[in-house]
Structure 1
């Protein structure tokens, strides 16, 4: 690193993330610059694939956009939670399904310019149907099953705009090519 942190201060602490403002000094020039970071605990995403190839997705109202989005099941990590445990929990909570087989596909940095959120992406297979246990605000969710071709078309035409979903589907396609 070509800088050092001189000062760090938490300026906001909310339920989902906190904002930290660091003051850094560049080693070469000595210039001082502020850096604002949304510190997020991260999360897990599942690509749940049924035995006959359909992918299980959910519709979810997203407050910042005041829209219902079509997404892969996902959620925030609890403190010190293993991402695979989070993925299984969120799959069950949002869809009612559990998976007998979970495979790590990769991870993504959602907005590395200002946010520390890391999303861990998993393939969920050998699904078993059960009851969902949605959290407050998720009651209106609907479970949707789509083929990979249908999902590709919805991504292409702008019906699926959620980044974690697009990345999850891309990692799934790379995984299934091997």
Structure 2
């Protein structure tokens, strides 16, 4: 096992990197049986010795939790590697239930050369996650003793692995179930600790339209990234629109009115909600009432906001307002020419079941139903 060994340099021995090399650690409080604890300790010791061969100054960051964290700290101190504590919350010591646990925590804390106290008063999932993120963000590499499963709560070891991937920071996974060691990412000769990021609108230096249609515009954007590289991104821009979920109380169950129309882009019929683009100088509520009356024949006595969202995928630029319509009364407007709309009456449960059918439901309409159902159940 020799991950991250120092590079050989043409007969002159190994080169030693200058500057402090920071190693972040994290892992489960319950590592498992004695064989697993021994495996984790030995692999960690070997990793530290490899890093010592190529770096003159090493510092370990740890949250001092029971289990893997304290095992790692003891291993680092045995090799004379200084440790700095990252404490998630002000009341952290209260997590140690027994006198023996508290004494060991105090001993290791006293052995740390520095303490980084996070501002959370109470210990919580948010505090633990913040500590894990802090360690990953401030480290050149992280070493995680982890079973490879998703976190059982916010702030677990899995969250540190995910955050390292987000920042494109290297980490070593000491697998506590498989007893294997894997490396992810590359260790740079010198770490700038600058998080890599996706292209964002604020990085755009030039924009030009490449197509203008009746309902959409295609634009091409030149994006100057912080590292100097120039990228090109295309967007499809659509006008703001409104969708309306009409509901009423049936004899025994809640009723929703859905429409079915031919989706020209998908080439199939789909269940969806009444709606359309918001015309200039027309309010959201006026547009919603017009769409309802044209497409299902009813006017709403009451309109409420359900949710606002942006259409997906990410190259589409469109804001969508979803409203809830109730107190429905027949007051139709003439339907638009070339519209072929079928109106369906569903119970809420029937509509929800239909969302699970392949290619049956418009995804934004399905989302509106799921959100409404959640709100309805909590009322």
Same fold, TM exceeding 0.5?
yes
Cα distance per residue 1:30-73 (max 9 Å; x no partner)? 11011111111121111101232211111111111221211111
Partner of 1:75: 276
Give the aligned partner of residue 105 of structure 1.
306
SS at match of 1:166: helix
TM-score after normalising by structure 1: 0.90
Shift in CA distance, 2/48, structure 1 to aligned 2, threshold 3 Å: closer
Of the three residues 115, 136, 141, the one matched with 2:341 is: 141
Aligned residue in 1 for 2:220 = 21
Residue aligning to 1:37: 235
Gapped regions of structure 1 (runs ≥ 5): none
For the 8 Å contact 1:44–1:84, the answer to whether it is kept is: no
Q: Aligned equivalents of 1:159 and 1:146: distance in 2?
A: 18
Which structure has the greater CA radius of gyration?
Answer: 2
Structure of higher RCO (CA pairs closer than 8 Å, 6+ residues apart): 1
- Within 2, Cα distance between the matches of 1:86 and 1:171? 22
Taking the aligned partners of 1:14 and 1:43, their CA distance within structure 2 comes to 17
Question: TM-score with structure 2 length normalisation?
Answer: 0.44
Task: Name the structure 1 match of 2:15.
Answer: none
1:132, distance to aligned residue in structure 2 (A): 3.9
Are 2:354 and 1:174 aligned? Answer: no
Superposition RMSD in Å: 1.8
Distance 1:3 1:46, change over 3 A: closer
If each structure's helix is expressed as a fraction of its own residues, which one has the higher value?
A: 2
Per the alignment, residue 156 of structure 1 pairs with 356
CA distance in 1 between partners of 2:334 and 2:370 (Å): 28
Asked if 1 retains the 8 angstrom alpha-carbon contact of 2:269 and 2:360, the reply is no
Q: Please give the alpha-carbon distance, in whole angstroms, between the structure 2 residues aligned to 1:75 and 1:113.
A: 21
- Hey, what does 2:36 align to over in structure 1? none
Partner Cα distance (2:316, 2:300) in 1:
30
Q: Which residue of 1 aligns with 2:325?
A: 124
Q: For residue 46 of structure 1, what is the aligned residue in structure 2?
A: 244
Question: How big is the shift at 1:159?
Answer: 5.8
Equivalences, count: 176
Q: Distance in 2 between matches of 1:13 and 1:35?
A: 17
More strand by share: 1
> Structure 1 stretches (4+) deviating beyond 4 angstroms?
none
Q: How far 1:126 sits from its partner (Å)?
A: 0.2
1: CA distance, partners of 2:211 / 2:334? 30
Residues 41 and 79 in structure 1, CA contact (< 8 A), matched pair in contact too: no
Corresponding position: 1:114 with 2:315: yes
